[in-house]
Amino acid sequence: MNDKPAIVWLREDFRLADNAALTAATQTGAPLLLVHIRPERPSGMTAVDWFREKTLAHFNAGLQSLSGKVHVFTGDSARLLPEIVARIGAAAVFWNRRYDPIGREIDAGLKREFAACGTEAHSFAGALFHEPWTVKNRAGQPFKIFSAYWRAACEAGSPGPPLPAPREFKFFAGSITGAQEQQLSWPAWTSSLDAYHEFGEAAAQDRLARFVADDLGHYEDERDFPDRDATSGLSPYLRVGQITPRQVWNAVSDAPGGLAHAAARAKFLAELGWRDFAWSVLWEHPGLADHALREEFEDLPWRSDPSGLEAWKRGRTGYPLVDAGMRELWRSGVMHNRVRMVAASFLVKHLLIDWRLGEQWFAETLVDYDPASNALNWQWCAGTGADSAPFFRIMNPVLQSRKFDPSGAYIRRWVPELKSASDKHIHAPWESPDARPANYPLPIVDHAAARRRALAAWDGVRGGDRQS
DNA sequence: TGAAATGTTGGGGCG
DNA sequence: ACGCCCCAACATTTC
């Protein structure tokens, strides 16, 4: 029998099932204090902060029926957590690992501190298939190419079955000062997000089950069409740990359909593999969001273009597919993956604006913003990474629109000015001056000229090197 | 996880 | 019937 309480420090893991830290803490028999520490946010809330806070509130509401709650603190966790430990006389702290450069630094420091004062500190895996430092090539080096990484990761074995939610909880009953009860105030711009999201572990599992039943079989064929609901939509849940990759892997592997759907299944799991890969790259390169992986691209002649950047952010570039995506992002906090590529490519190549500015905008506005995936994918689009689209591969926003939104349904959903445009002209409304709505902007750059400019910029940094 | 430019081929209109 | 031109349609190369 263990009388001293234990702390479960929840960070990005608001779930009861497949939560290794929570399960391990429960098994000690100690009364548990669930703690979440949010940082001070002097610069305000981002979309993922909004999603996390909503998730936390939902998680807490669910805990009421178990007579438990998450105690929420605001401030510097490196200072607060030891204080909380001391205040309740906790014998042990449990958490699931995080892998961002700042977080891992804090956690390592806390482990040292707790070790020095005799408090147990136990950390667990859970947010990824593989710990980022474990997948290496034969030379013991981290992979730089996704396909090689993923092959090695898959050969290392598939994830085991997820942990069930603990059956019983014993919560710490004492009082604790410093925890905050007051409601946060949401910035006005978050009000449009509510309509597009559901919160909670059950909602995440529902979404997974529906995806596996209805969409997984044709995932490979339909995932690129933004007006079809053919993607899993799990990214926000993965982001805040309402669901784990291991749970997804097992649900997908158990899906009916047999060999017929093997390719679709593999394709979908590989997308989750990209998420792991991004974290492994970030682990090796903490500056992934700030520095081009291929250094020669630090010399690209990025333009300073505040009005172009603003037009891009607000979805007023005059290219309907780009604008639809950027407006979907602003209103709903997500953007279809295909459109993310087109919109990102447009900023970097058509506007020749530094990919870091796009990375920052996505970091503020995406409810599924993931520091590793976001940075890696921006570098992929900009062609500055090791395993990236070549810089000369420039997407044509009109062709992409005709190909992936042939009926214009996606554009009409997000760009009301074009609601009554014809299927023929909706992708390039400026080509039909008669039908073009007066309140929809003309293209802020000419595609052909922008393409030439981007190629010239690329030509400038690669020197005399003629390879492709 | 492109697109544009350039090259090739083959059918059909036409003198 | 034949050569010639035009231009889809497809293939290859280049960015």
- pLDDT for the residue A463: 58
**What's residue A391's pLDDT?**
93
Which class does domain A6-127 fall in?
alpha beta
Q: How far is the CA of A201 from the C1' of B5 (A)?
A: 53
Give the per-residue pLDDT at A464. Answer: 45
Nearest to residue A250, comparing CAs of A205, A199, A215? A205
Give the pLDDT confidence score for residue A182 in this predicted structure. Answer: 66
Whether A378 sits among the annotated catalytic residues: the reply is yes
In this prediction, residue A303 carries a pLDDT of 97
Q: Which residues in chain A land under pLDDT 70?
A: 1-2, 181-182, 463-468
What does the pLDDT read at residue A1?
46
| Active site annotation includes A60 | no
A455 touches strand C (CB under 7 A): yes
Name the percent of chain A in helix, strand, coil, to the closest 5: 50, 5, 45
Please give, chain by chain, protein residues whose CB is below 7 Å from any atom of strand B: A 146, 271, 274, 337-338, 341, 380, 389, 392-396, 399-400, 403, 447-448, 451
A359: which 2 tokens? 């990375």
H helices of A405-446, where?
Answer: 409-414
A459 closest-nt by C1' vs CA: C15
- Strand B positions with any atom < 7 Å from protein CB? 1-5
Question: CA A224 – C1' C12 distance (Å)?
Answer: 27
| CATH number corresponding to A295-461 | 1.10.579.10
User: Any idea which nucleotide's C1' is nearest the CA of A401?
Assistant: B2
Say which CATH class A128-161+201-284 falls into: mainly alpha
Q: What is the pLDDT of residue A468?
A: 38
Q: Please tell me which residue in A60, A113, A186, A302 is annotated as part of the active site.
A: A302
Which pLDDT belongs to residue A2?
61
Residues 6 or more apart whose CB falls under 8 angstroms from that of A433 comprise: none
Q: For residues A398 and A443, what is the distance between their CA atoms, to the nearest angstrom?
A: 11
- Residue A73's DSSP bridge partners are A37
Residue A335 CA to nucleotide B7 C1', Å? 40
pLDDT at position A466: 41
Please confirm, yes or no, whether A274 is among the known catalytic residues: yes
Distances (CA, A) of A72 to A178, A282, A387, A459: 9, 29, 40, 53
A449: how many CB neighbours lie within 10 A of its CB?
10
Cβ neighbours of residue A53 under 8 Å, at least 6 residues apart? A38, A45, A184
How many beta carbons lie within 10 A of that of residue A67, not counting itself? 10
Q: Which of A9, A279, A330, A355 is catalytic?
A: A355
Q: How many CA atoms lie within 13 A of A164 on its CB side?
A: 4
Closest-approach nucleotide to residue A394, Cα vs C1': B2
Q: Given this model, what pLDDT does residue A174 score?
A: 84
User: Which two structure tokens, joined as six digits, stand for A376?
Assistant: 């890696």
Phi-psi region of A141 (alpha: psi -120 to 50; beta: other; left: phi over 0): beta
> Model confidence over A187-238: pLDDT tens digits?
999 999 999 999 999 999 999 999 999 999 999 999 999 999 899 999 999 9
pLDDT score, position A467 = 42
- The reply to whether A302 belongs to the active site is yes
Q: Which helix (H) or strand (E) holds A96?
A: strand A92-96
The continuous run of DSSP H or E covering A73 comes out as strand A70-74
The helix/strand/coil state of A261 is: helix
Q: Locate the domains of chain A by residue range.
A: 6-127, 128-161+201-284, 295-461
Residues 383-402/A with CB within 7 Å of nucleic chain C are 392-393
> Residue A447, CA: closest nucleotide via C1'?
B3
Distance A299 CA to B6 C1' (A): 31
Nearest CA to A87 among A172, A27, A24, A11? A172
The answer to whether A308 and A351 have CB atoms below 8 angstroms apart is: yes
Choosing from A337, A361, A396, A430, the catalytic residue is A337
3-state helix/strand/coil string of A142-207:
ECCCHHHHHHHHHHCCCCCCCCCCCCCCCECCCCCCCCCCCCCCCCHHHHHCHHHCCCCHHHHHHH
Name the nt closest to A389 by C-alpha to C1'.
B1
Q: Is the CB of A462 under 7 A from strand C?
A: no
Tokens matching residue A346: 């447009």
